[in-house]
């Protein structure tokens, strides 16, 4: 069974190579994954420009990301695409000992009990979005922009104590402009062009990046002498110490990690929620089940920490949305030395890519992959599925450190919104996913929201 609305494009029958391949990659790289990536465990693409191994075999994914993780590093195109916005020393991009000590220092920030303490703030900001939509009348709302605004408000409240005087709309625009350059930078890395090579929108991207960094520098300088009245994630980051060495983060490391947590955190959650709302709007049965669950668990009261465990279907719906539309649609590594994965000998210059968008729709791993079925993530249904067939947050030692926060945040927001509104898809509006750093929407997401 195939839902044609959930098939945004037809994968090419064969890999797109040469200059057409690079142009297609820059335009929307998920459209370059060939049909074989949805059907086979491995696909090797070798041209005069690149050597790439697409990996959709869960056992080999485990071998690379988990069992032999130390033998692989982040690929050069990703490093070059993300470094201008996040900084090369951030937790996301650092390698080796620099990455390990930062991971140890930051891990306590994301303890479950700490995250639960942010539920009231998340629920309050979601309620503010409810009020904005109540004033929209009968006109369709732009759900993607709303989710970007809501998740950035939440990051400001939970990470910056809400007292940072941050212009959320200006910051969001600057972040979008900075991330637009990512595909150009990745292509230039594949071509081994120098870092100073200009591209369309180069000055705009530079201004946006500088604005983001200045804002974080300002906030960090203001917070150092005066902690928040209510401890937040930035306070915890400032106090973070490596349990083994006692080392703490320098100002430069604090700045890059602050940029990482804020920029990567809100963008991916906003994308996941936007696709979730559209899928729910198209399925009245699932939508009614969600409303019943939220009202059974919380009634009409504000969502509280004690409600989270009971919002089982909310989590399953978000998980299924991230299967169909993974917030980060691919990840890549390069081996540090010559290694063998399965039957493939790969060199340090080889890009080993896990095309998560294709993996999550793989015909051998999922029944009816082009359908929306949240029941896939019920415990019994998930038992027989390979662990590494589903990677919305990556896997192994470098699994996303903020995954629990993202799921908690998305669950609360979804619960608040579906209890307040009946969601309707806009006839004729078929959103198209476009891969940048995250799986963004080419022309936004129109929905109709009807107050309950």
Range of the domain at 48: 4-451
Residues 76-121: pLDDT tens digits?
A: 888 888 888 787 788 888 888 888 888 888 888 888 998 999 999 9
Taking the C-alpha atoms of residue 132 and residue 368, their distance in angstroms, rounded to an integer, is 37
Taking the C-alpha atoms of residue 338 and residue 346, their distance in angstroms, rounded to an integer, is 6
Residues 179-189: pLDDT tens digits?
A: 878 888 888 88
pTM, 2 dp: 0.94
Please state the domain count of the chain: 1
Give the max Cα distance, the chain. Answer: 61
Residues 273-283: pLDDT tens digits?
A: 999 999 999 99
Q: What is the CATH number of the domain that holds 75?
A: 1.10.630.10
Taking the C-alpha atoms of residue 403 and residue 409, their distance in angstroms, rounded to an integer, is 10
- Walk across the sheet containing 446-451 and list its strands: 141-142, 446-451, 421-425
Query: Is a pLDDT exceeding 90 seen at residue 251?
Result: no
Q: What is the DSSP string of 72-102?
A: EEE-HHHHHHHHHHH-TTSTTT--HHHHHHH
Taking the C-alpha atoms of residue 235 and residue 212, their distance in angstroms, rounded to an integer, is 20
* pLDDT at residue number 448: 95
Q: What is the DSSP string of 221-236?
A: HHHTTS--SS--HHHH
Torsion, Cα 173 417 312 290, to 10 degrees, reads: -140
Distances (CA, A) of 216 to 79, 259, 439: 21, 7, 25
DSSP β-ladder status, 344-346 and 42-46: unpaired
Residues 35-69: pLDDT tens digits?
A: 999 999 999 998 877 889 999 999 999 999 999 99
* pLDDT at residue number 164: 61
Taking the C-alpha atoms of residue 37 and residue 63, their distance in angstroms, rounded to an integer, is 18
What is the average pLDDT across 138-156? 91
């Amino acid at each position: 069974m195939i839902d044609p609305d959930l098939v945004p494009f037809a994968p090419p029958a064969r890999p797109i190579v040469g200059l057409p391949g690079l142009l297609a990659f820059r335009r929307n790289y998920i459209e370059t994954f060939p049909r074989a990536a949805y059907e086979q465990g491995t696909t090797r693409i070798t041209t005069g420009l690149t050597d790439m191994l697409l990996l959709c075999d869960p056992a080999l994914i485990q071998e690379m990301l988990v069992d032999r993780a130390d033998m692989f590093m982040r690929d050069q195109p990703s490093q070059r695409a993300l470094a201008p916005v996040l900084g090369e020393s951030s937790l996301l991009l650092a390698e080796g000992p620099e990455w390990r000590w930062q991971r140890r220092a930051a891990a306590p920030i994301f303890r479950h009990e700490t995250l639960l303490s942010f539920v009231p703030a998340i629920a309050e900001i979601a309620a503010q979005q409810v009020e904005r939509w109540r004033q929209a009348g009968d006109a369709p709302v732009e759900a993607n922009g709303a989710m970007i605004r809501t998740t950035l408000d939440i990051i400001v409240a939970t990470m910056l104590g809400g007292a940072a005087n941050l212009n959320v709309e200006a910051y969001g625009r600057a972040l979008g402009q900075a991330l637009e350059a990512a595909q150009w930078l990745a292509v230039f890395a594949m071509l081994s062009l120098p870092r100073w090579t200009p591209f369309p929108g180069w000055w705009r991207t530079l201004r946006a990046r500088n604005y983001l960094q200045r804002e974080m520098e300002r906030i960090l300088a203001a917070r150092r002498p005066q902690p928040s009245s209510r401890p937040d994630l930035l306070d915890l980051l400032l106090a973070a110490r490596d349990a083994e060495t006692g080392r703490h983060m320098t100002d430069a490391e604090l700045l890059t990690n602050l940029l990482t947590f804020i920029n990567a955190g809100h963008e991916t959650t906003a994308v996941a929620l936007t696709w979730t709302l559209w899928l729910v709007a198209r399925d009245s049965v699932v939508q009614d089940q969600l409303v019943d669950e939220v009202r059974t668990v919380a009634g009409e009261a504000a969502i509280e920490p004690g409600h989270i465990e009971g919002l089982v279907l909310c989590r399953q719906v978000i998980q299924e949305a991230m299967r169909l539309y993974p917030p980060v649609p691919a990840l890549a590594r390069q081996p540090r030395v010559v290694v063998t994965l399965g039957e493939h000998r790969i060199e340090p210059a080889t890009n080993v890519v896990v095309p998560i968008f294709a993996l999550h729709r793989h015909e051998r791993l999922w029944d009816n992959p082009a359908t929306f079925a949240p029941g896939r993530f019920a415990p019994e249904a998930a038992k027989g599925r390979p662990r590494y067939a589903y990677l919305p947050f990556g896997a192994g030692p470098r699994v996303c450190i903020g995954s629990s926060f993202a799921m908690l945040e998305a669950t609360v927001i979804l619960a608040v919104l579906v209890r307040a509104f009946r969601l309707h898809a806009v006839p004729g509006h078929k959103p198209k996913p476009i891969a940048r750093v995250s799986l963004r929407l080419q022309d936004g997401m129109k929905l109709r929201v009807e107050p309950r």
